[in-house]
Homo-oligomer: A and B are copies of this chain.
Amino acid sequence: MIEIDEARARVLACVGNASAVTLPVTEAVGLVLAAEAVSDVDVPPHDKALVDGFAVQAADVRSGRMPLQVIEQVVAGVVPTHMVVPGTATQIMTGAPLPQGADAVVKVEWTHVDPGASPPRVQVEDAGVQPGQHILRHGQLLRRGDRLLPAGHRIRAVDVGLLCETGCWHVSVWRRPRVAVLATGNELVPAEQTPGVGQIRNSNGPLLSALAREAGCEVVDHGIARDDPVALRSSIERGLGEDVLLLSGGVSAGVLDLVPDALAALGVERVFHHVRLKPGKPLWFGTRSREGGRTLVFALPGNPVGSLVCFELFVRPVLRALLGWSPAVLAPVSVWLATPYWQRSDRPTLVPARVARTASAPATVTPLPWAGSSDQRPLGEANCLACFPAGDCPYQAGQRVMIYPLDADTHDPSYGQPESPA
């Protein structure tokens, strides 16, 4: 039996290099840039009008030479063909390229067009026109070759506009890990069925699939394998082609805990079995070489909360490493305990809990009533796992406790600064 930190270190040591792929940015939201994003254009690509109005020579207006002859109308997407010279103006729309010769734009609200004149003439009523007014200069915002987002940046929806504008439609990102999920156990029926006497529904399989998918992976759910050496082996084999295989059940000391033997028979090399942890002690971890890399195999406990705890402590860091997150392991966050808690175990214990945060006050955490590793009920209310060190020890409200976030909302890396355990 090894400690949590050592188990995690051994798991992460088995993660190979992530692979980069090129995707359209709209399919890359949530993934991490494998290479920095660099602009291939100047922004704006030309001197451009920031308002609807008239492009003029400021000196013309300031000296009161009015009206000005309107020589052209320029809209966005069109290149001006006439030069603005003294005594002339070009009607211009927001975003349109500034004609040569013009050095200012006057808002349409400050102008008056003579309706009867031909050619048309415009009177400007703003004598305070300044050169450069309402103009964005060529390349003022961005230059070709400017670095926009660094390698390692996780692409968010809000980044998509900038990337599109600057020629980064195709981005190089770390590809989604492929994860196979297989639940084992004679007592299991598919979650969509009604269990018979002695049976229960498969909840671990869908739970692990959902967690891996939410983490950004492509998931293949292989359903349920029976506790039969031959059937088990053939089901496991189908999952060994992916980056990660998650099994649940069959790793304890029971007569039908056949998973470790089946894995050994398939050439999966054991890295460790059992972690000093509650729940989650039976965790088995090993690897097998395959073309292009190694498959990481986690055989998780059959109890759903044990399975969840192992996912959060050991599987999630692996998925993050493959996804290019740096660091792959978020240091757990230390928060104030909101209520007293009695810890009684010879193993570090992870308890479903709810962390409450406000923008103006430090976060506090409340462990939820919980009947142990097969009790999923508190998970509906939980948004983190609170971690209590091994030992028999009463904790008081106000003491520091480490938490591992449980839902996407609390996975924000900026959520908490790493701190040492209480």
Contacts and interface: CB of A to CB of B under 8 A. Distances in A.
A303 B161 CA distance: 11
Contacts of A412: 357, 409-410, 412
A148 to B, nearest CB: 6
Interface string A314-350: 0000000000000000000111000000000000000
A192 B376 contact: no
Nearest to A385: B158
A1 B91 CA distance: 25
Interface of A is mostly: loop
Interface string A406-422: 11111111111101000
Q: Which of A157, A167, A186, A227 has the most CB of B within 10 A?
A: A157
A363 interface: yes
Given A161-B207, A304-B161, A141 B255 contact: no
A380 interface: yes
Contacts of A76: 185-187, 198, 254, 256
Interface in A195-252: 195, 197-204, 206-207, 209-211, 213-214, 227, 252
A9 interface: no
Contact of A356 (B162, B164, B169, B414): B414
Contact of A407 (B46, B91, B158, B308): B158
Interface string A153-174: 1001111111011110110000
A294 to B, nearest CB: 26
Given A194-B167, A362-B359, A377 B162 contact: yes
A227 B93 CA distance: 13
A63 interface: no
Interface in A137-158: 140-142, 148-149, 153, 156-158
Given A44-B374, A73-B255, A161 B206 contact: yes
Interface stretch (A24-32, A120-128, A267-275): A24-32
Given A41-B195, A199-B77, A253-B52, A211 B302 contact: no
A214 B380 CA distance: 23
B164 A416 contact: no
Contact of A254 (B75, B167, B195): B75
Q: Which of A153, A165, A211 has the most CB of B within 10 A?
A: A165
Contact of A161 (B29, B158, B308): B308
A375 B39 CA distance: 14
Contact of A203 (B165, B187, B357): B165
A207 to B, nearest CB: 3
A61 interface: no
A78 interface: yes
Contacts of A380: 148-149, 153, 159, 162
A67 interface: no
Contacts of A15: none
A143 to B, nearest CB: 11
Interface in A356-390: 356-363, 371-372, 374-377, 379-380, 382-383
13 contacts: A46-B198, A77-B227, A94-B254, A95-B374, A96-B187, A156-B406, A158-B308, A158-B406, A160-B203, A161-B307, A164-B207, A165-B201, A169-B191
Interface of A: 24-26, 29, 40-41, 44-46, 50, 52, 73, 75-79, 91, 93-97, 108, 136, 140-142, 148-149, 153, 156-162, 164-167, 169-170, 185-188, 191-192, 194-195, 197-204, 206-207, 209-211, 213-214, 227, 252-256, 302-304, 307-308, 333-335, 355-363, 371-372, 374-377, 379-380, 382-383, 406-417, 419
